[in-house]
Structure 1
Amino acid sequence: MVYRFWCGECGFKTPWLAESEGAQRQLDHYNKQHPGIHAGGHVETGRRNPQDSRISGLACLQVAGLLALLLIIAAAYRR
């Protein structure tokens, strides 16, 4: 699972990261931009890494290609 941390003081948000890395980046942001203020905001969760969507898209393309090939073969044997 991936996480994106939002600042409670401004519009800053971290990129989608592992939970520990995102929390550290939010803390670094607060220390630099809002010194003396306790880190707040909210956390957005994602089900998977956005890079995984490229992999699933490729798998979908492969399945579609295989189905198209099977249809061509079936049509050739029908004649």
Structure 2
Amino acid sequence: MAYRYWCGECGFRTAWLSGPEGERQQIEHYAKRHPGTPPGGHVEVGRIPDGCCGCLLVVAIALLLLVVAAACRR
């Protein structure tokens, strides 16, 4: 899963990251931009992990090429 952390004080948001990395970036943002304020906001959850669709596309193309190669052999 990928997560995006949003600041509760301003419009800052992290990139789509793993949970611990996004949380770390949000804490660093609060320490720098909102000192003394406990981290808040909300977390957006992405359903598809980063890189998943790219791998699926490569596998689909490879299978398509195998089918075309098998059909041309006959």
TMscore range, shorter length: 0.7 to 0.9
Q: How many residues were matched structurally?
A: 74
Distance, in Å, in 1 between the alignment partners of 2:67 and 2:11 is 46
Distance, in Å, in 2 between the alignment partners of 1:61 and 1:8 is 43
Distance, in Å, in 1 between the alignment partners of 2:11 and 2:65 is 43
Which aligned runs of 4 or more in structure 1 are off by greater than 6 angstroms?
none
Q: Matched residue of 1:65: which SS? A: helix
- Give the superposed CA RMSD: 1.6
Structure in which a larger fraction of residues adopt helix:
1
The match for 1:68 is: 68
- Structure 1: segments with no counterpart, 5+ residues: none
Distance, in Å, in 1 between the alignment partners of 2:7 and 2:60 is 37
Q: Identical aligned pairs, as a percentage?
A: 41
Distance, in Å, in 1 between the alignment partners of 2:3 and 2:42 is 10
TM-score for both structures, normalised by structure 1? 0.76
Q: How far did 1:4 drift? A: 1.1
